[in-house]
Amino acid sequence: MRWFSQDVLPSPNIWYHQRDYEVENRAQDVDGEIWRVLRGAGDWTGRDVLDLGCGDGFHLPRFARDARSVLGVEPHPPLARDAARRVRDLANVRVRKGRAQRLPVDDASVDVVHARTAYFFGPGCEPGLREADRVLRPGGTILIVDLDVTSEPYGGWMRADLPDYDPPAVERFFAAQGFGCRRVTTRWQFADPAAAESVLKIEFSARVAQRAIAEVRRMNPGAGQVTVPVGYRVHSRVKPTGLVLPGHSAASPGSSSASPRIE
C-alpha cells in the first residue's frame, strides 16, 4: 500500500531528488518572464499570498519581498519542514502542511493563490479550484503556472514520456473554468552541462533523458553555461467581486468567456 494519500500527487522529481530540483528551480526562468506575467495578472504587493504545493518553499522568499503575508501549503511532510526552514528568518512567511483539496485556510482570507507545477494539471483538479475560490477574497486571483507541453524542445520530451497527455483538452478545461491563458517563453540556464544533465535525468525517463541530453549538447557545444528554452502556460482567474448569476461561470475580466455580474 502506498503511504501517501490518494489525494496527494507524487512528485518524484522534488520528493526523491530535492538537491537536483533546487538546481532546476535556480536555473528556471532566468529572465523573470513568468514573474512579469504573474504580476500583470494579479499583483501581490501589500497583499496576502498563498503558494499551494510550495514544495520546499523555493518561491516563498520571492513573494515575501512585496507581499503583506505569504503562506506556503505543502502536503509532503519532509518538504513542508524544509520550506519552513528556508523561510524561518522571514517574519511575514508561514508554512502549513495541507493539500489543495482541503486548505488549512479561512474563507476569503487571501488575495492571491499561486500554484507552480503543482496539483492543477487539468481535469480532476476541480476540488482544488473550489477550495481556491473559497479562500480567495472577492477580487482575488488564482495563478496557475505549468509547463507548456506544446513548446519545443522541452514539450517534445514531455510528450515522449506522456503519450496520453492531451494539451488542447487541458487548455479547453481551464478555459471552460473561466481562466485566461498566457504562454510564456523562458530560458533555463545552468552553470555547466553536468548541472543541466542532472536535472534532465530527474524530469524524464532514462530513454527520453538521453535524447534530451544529446539535443542540449548539440544546442550548447562546449563546457560552459547551458541554456534550454522552456515554455510555460500561466492560467489566471479573478474571483468576482459581485454576485454571479446561476449557470454562468466566474470568468476573469480578461478571459474570453465573460460572465454577467451584478455588482
> In this chain, which of 18, 92, 109, 117 binds ligand SAM, going by CB under 6 A?
117
User: Considering the complex, what minimum distance in angstroms separates the CB of residue 2 from ligand SAM?
Assistant: 13
Nearer to ligand SAM, 133 or 217 (CB): 133
Q: Does 131 bind ligand SAM (CB under 6 A)?
A: no
3-state secondary structure the chain: CCCCCCCCCCCHHHHHCHHHHHHHHHHCCCCCHHHHHHHHHCCCCCCEEEEECCCCCCCHHHHHCCCCEEEEEECCHHHHHHHHHHCCCCCCEEEEECECCECCCCCCCEEEEEEECCCCCCCCCHHHHHHHHHHEEEEEEEEEEEECCCCCCHHHHHHHHCCCCCHHHHHHHHHHCCCEEEEEEEEEEECCHHHHHHHHHHHCCHHHHHHHHHHHHHHCCCCCCEEEEEEEEEEEEECCCCEECCCCCCCCCCCCCCCCEEC
Out of 23, 27, 54, 64, which residue is the one contacting ligand SAM (CB under 6 A)?
54
Least distance (Å) between residue 248 CB and ligand SAM:
28
Q: Which of 116, 233, 235, 237 touches ligand SAM by CB under 6 A? A: 116
Q: In angstroms, what is the minimal distance from the CB of 237 to ligand SAM? A: 18
Give the one residue of 7, 31, 126, 192 binding ligand SAM; rule: CB under 6 A. 7
As measured in angstroms, the least distance from the Cβ of 106 to ligand SAM is 18
Rule CB under 6 A: say whether 75 interacts with ligand SAM.
yes
Among 14, 38, 84, 251, binds ligand SAM (CB under 6 A): 14
Per rule CB under 6 A, is residue 150 in the interface with ligand SAM? no
- List interacting residues with ligand SAM (CB under 6 A): 7-9, 11, 13-14, 25, 52-55, 58-59, 74-76, 79, 99-101, 116-119
